[in-house]
Structure 1
Amino acid sequence: MLPTLIPPLRRRRGYLALLAALTLGLWPSPPGTPDGRRLDEALAREFLQVHTRNTPTTYYEGREGPTGFEYELARRFAAHLGISLSLRSDHQIASVLEAVRTEGDLGAAALPLTPTAEGVIFSRPILELQPVVVYRRGLPPVNGPERLAGLTLGTLAGAGTDLVLGELEAEHPGLNWLASQELEVAELLRLIEDERLDAAVIFEHQFRLNRLFFPGVERGFSLGDPLSLAWAFPADGGLALAEAANGFLQALHEEGELDALVARYFGHDDYLEYVGARTFIQHAHARLPAYTELFQEAARQAGFDWKLLAALGYQESHWDPEATSPTGVRGLMMLTLPTAGDLGVSDRLDPVQSIQGGARYLRELKDRLPESIRGEDRLFMAMAAYNVGLGHLYDARRITEQRGGDPNRWADVRESLPLLQEREWYRQTRHGYARGGEPVIYVRNIRRYHEILSYVDRSQQQFYLLNARLPDDEEEKLLQLVGAPP
């Protein structure tokens, strides 16, 4: 059944002219003045209260701990103020703004800069948000507004995309859509794949982050002008906190750090894609021989097939000992800094330490799983935990039980992992949102790479055995025996 949806919010944007007045009108107000009340309170309590959402673009618990674009910004801002960070992430867009009005201090939740919003003021623009139309693969191409007629169209209420649709309606009378305050982007994309929606309007960066997990959804066209992502502050708390944020963001922009964060979180959407057997075999010939003995030794110590460890290493780094991910994990086995410390790895870029550390880490994960998980299921779940963390894996096992599946079978758990991207499910879990589609692809790829390496290894052994029994001086004669005798 289609989730409960509310009628669209039909409100004209009209805030471009207000934007300059809003941002340029915030002149510095020192603490200790009426305009500095909210900042004074935050400094006095020694923490910044941030209201956010548990989504991939804002805040979630990742492989290396708390992460997300706005989490990282807020963490740095709190450090800039010399205080700690306190997060409330159990929000939707509407409740973020309400919490800012009534509790403060700051709303950082992929909020569109909307000067007409009551009771809050906004920071300077942080990130450009380009609305795009996405649609179900197999439909006629949706490459312009006129193609929206007759489609069941959805979006998120309060995200800003509903305002763009409101503007479009002025040019295309009769345009209708469904807007929800309950869903998140991944759930909209799932509704499209499940044929309960034909299309949706979301933001470009949201589609890039999610497209790998929803292959049945295609990008259509850009819709309207870009909006601006901004932070929200209580209007009755003075201007000093907003001004401090503006100064911090301006400095981050001038130093190039803001662009680096945008690239880190939104500029790498395809690193998990399967590269194809031919490319993999090329790397196996060109790169793997330098590390084969290291994988073999680490596998002997940890009790794994060395080709499995090599396959995991390829999925992590393409056998690049100096690899660094957008989120800061490094080395051939892509260990996080805390994990490397726990494993006694002092140099993550040293391939010897990295391979040994990765093998020990996979063994620890496998050993920590419940005894009820056996055989290949245990191995596959350990690999999934290497990618997404044990906490999220346990959350997926609990969801599997709720859905009537077997939490000890990988085939059932892999069906539940992508649900960690959907609010309906992740808000019931201990660890919240996760990019749950990633470990499914991750394990699938490693299994494929392992199969290819095993095939190549068997073929080489057969080739060597054949050569061992064929004298070089008899090769021509033996080849002639293949055809019919003259």
Structure 2
Amino acid sequence: MRFIKGLALATTVAFAPWLVGCQKEPALSPALQAIKDSGTLVVLTRNAPTTHFIDRDDQPIGFEHDLVKDFANTLGVDVEFRLRHTITEIQNELDAGTAHLAAAGLTRLESRTENFSFGPGYYEVQQQVVCHRAGAQPRSLEDLVGLSLQVIGGSSYEERLTQLRDTEYPELTWDADPSLSTELILQKVWEKQIDCTIADSNIVAINRRYFPELSVMFPLNEPEELAWLLPKGADELGQALHAWYEEANAAARITLIAARYYAHVEIFDYVDTARFIRRIDERLPAYQALFEHAGEKYGFDWRLLAAQAYQESHWSPTARSPTGVRGMMMLTLRTAGELGVDNRLDPAQSIDGGARYLANLRSRLSESITEPDRTWIALAAYNVGMGHIHDARALAAHKGKNPDSWLDLREVLPRLSQPDYYRHLRYGYARGSEPVHYLRRIRNYEDILGKQLTLREEGGTP
């Protein structure tokens, strides 16, 4: 995955998904001044992990959501997100003039240029053929012939398949269902209801962590850019959008937002992910109440603490490292003593002690560091030590980067193992790459855990 730079956050969201489809929306003026006068930018999007969803604090977030908020902030207006289930619904409503733009993970298609114009490309994806690792294993387009293949109707996937059928593979067949989302079709592949599907690489990267048996077979096209759709004639809005993008791109804000949603999913390890999902059932129930109690006591989401503990010990209370750290949260003997933990192998003491230590590290950070960076940097300090975090922050500032940003710190931390840098730092040498990998894995485990728990609550069988 390669992102095309650009974006920050602001404004409020008028979010009322229960009103979707209740009444016909009036047409809106696409004129820029009319939008500013109304104080609201109306945006069509989808409810999905790559676009717009509600987080654990019941707040709307998502890659597309955050980009739109940044654009709206430059206009000085709020955003009304209207969630729609299908691409067809989004295109029909935008064509009817009931929204100002669509930000829903859509690619530039020739078929869409008749009714819409495009904003600048802001993220690069590639269509991938995805199947079940224990099912059909096509290695080429010829191998897709005869398989049960399903995609979203009216999507870029269907358009690409149609081009291939009409030019090279006349026997290629598929089912196109406009009522389904890419995420639901990927789940159908995982459940072995169908053989394969087509999905954009960013959607696959997110969802194969929840359904690890999904396997990428081969790309279906060259990389292409995602872009927002605007109604024909929305020239002023389009100009404002391009001007915003140029400024946001120069400031590299899109890098920060993209990293928030994609940086921790870049590396996929099937064996590790499948093992983790099994252990959610096999090991976690014995300790979940301890994580919940510690999370409430010290101000952390319990799933984050559980993810950290899995990274530390794989939820084994008797874990030991070659350096002598022990227990569920892998406390050193010295740290355990300072925390009053007299038995590191006792899960209750270890989890409480680890959470208390993490909270202490978080409290020692500069007040200028805000969430979620504050918790992420505290986790890095848990792994590498607060002294090296101080060094990394100083180095980041020296390099003209933001010492309060985890995104910038993760760039400079690996330099702590390089003599040209560490010999000039107060705390000297450190394996600076370790906290970067440490935090990436914790965030990955936390996301997977949250999804698996949701599936169980909904009666699914992950």
TM-score range, shorter chain: 0.5 to 0.7
Letter in 1 for 2:189: I
The one of 321, 327, 351 equivalent to 1:282 is 321
Structure 2 partner of 1:25 = none
The one of 52, 56, 59 equivalent to 1:59 is 52
Q: 1:417 to 1:225 in 2, by over 3 A?
A: same
Alignment of 1:457-476 (within 5 A): none
SS at match of 1:110: coil
Structure 1 partner of 2:82 = 88
The whole-number CA distance in structure 1 between the counterparts of 2:370 and 2:323 is 21
TM-score, normalised by the number of residues in structure 1: 0.55
Structure 1 residue 246: Cα displacement: 1.2
Structure 1 partner of 2:33 = 40
Structure 2 partner of 1:182 = 179
Verify the 8 A CA contact 2:44 2:104 in the aligned structure 1: yes
Aligned-pair identity (%): 22
Letter in 2 for 1:83: V
Determine whether 1:163 maps to 2:146. Answer: no
Structure 2 partner of 1:75 = 69
Structure 1 partner of 2:206 = 209
Structure 2 partner of 1:154 = 150
Verify the 8 A CA contact 1:48 1:85 in the aligned structure 2: yes
The whole-number CA distance in structure 1 between the counterparts of 2:357 and 2:191 is 33
The whole-number CA distance in structure 1 between the counterparts of 2:216 and 2:455 is 26
How many residue pairs align between the two structures?
308
List per-residue Cα deviations over 1:201-223 (Å, max 9, x = no partner).
10111111011111221111111
SS at match of 2:99: coil
Root mean square deviation, CA, Å = 4.1
Q: 1:162 to 1:82 in 2, by over 3 A?
A: same
TM-score, normalised by the number of residues in structure 2: 0.57
Verify the 8 A CA contact 1:115 1:122 in the aligned structure 2: no
Unaligned segments of structure 1, at least 5 residues: 1-35, 298-303, 335-348, 350-386, 397-409, 420-435, 438-486
The whole-number CA distance in structure 2 between the counterparts of 1:414 and 1:107 is 29
Verify the 8 A CA contact 2:118 2:228 in the aligned structure 1: yes
Verify the 8 A CA contact 2:136 2:195 in the aligned structure 1: no
Verify the 8 A CA contact 2:127 2:221 in the aligned structure 1: yes
Verify the 8 A CA contact 2:46 2:52 in the aligned structure 1: yes
Alignment of 1:14-413 (within 5 A): 38-64=31-57, 65-101=59-95, 102-117=97-112, 118-139=114-135, 141-169=137-165, 170-236=167-233, 238-269=234-265, 273=273, 274=276, 281-282=320-321, 285-286=324-325, 288-289=331-332, 291-292=335-336, 305-309=348-352, 328=373, 330-331=375-376
List per-residue Cα deviations over 1:258-278 (Å, max 9, x = no partner).
233223322321699545858
Structure 1 residue 239: Cα displacement: 0.3
SS at match of 1:104: coil
Structure 1 residue 150: Cα displacement: 1.7
Letter in 2 for 1:95: E
- Larger Rg belongs to: 1
Q: 1:188 to 1:291 in 2, by over 3 A?
A: farther
List per-residue Cα deviations over 1:297-319 (Å, max 9, x = no partner).
8xxxxxx9233346779999x99
Unaligned segments of structure 2, at least 5 residues: 1-28, 277-310, 342-346, 380-403, 405-445
Verify the 8 A CA contact 1:252 1:258 in the aligned structure 2: yes
SS at match of 2:243: helix
List per-residue Cα deviations over 1:330-356 (Å, max 9, x = no partner).
15887xxxxxxxxxxxxxx9xxxxxxx
Query: Which one is further off, 132-141 or 305-314?
Result: 305-314
The whole-number CA distance in structure 1 between the counterparts of 2:110 and 2:356 is 49
The whole-number CA distance in structure 1 between the counterparts of 2:46 and 2:356 is 33
Query: Which one is further off, 144-153 or 115-124?
Result: 115-124
Structure 1 partner of 2:456 = 415
The whole-number CA distance in structure 1 between the counterparts of 2:174 and 2:198 is 10
Structure 1 residue 294: Cα displacement: 6.8
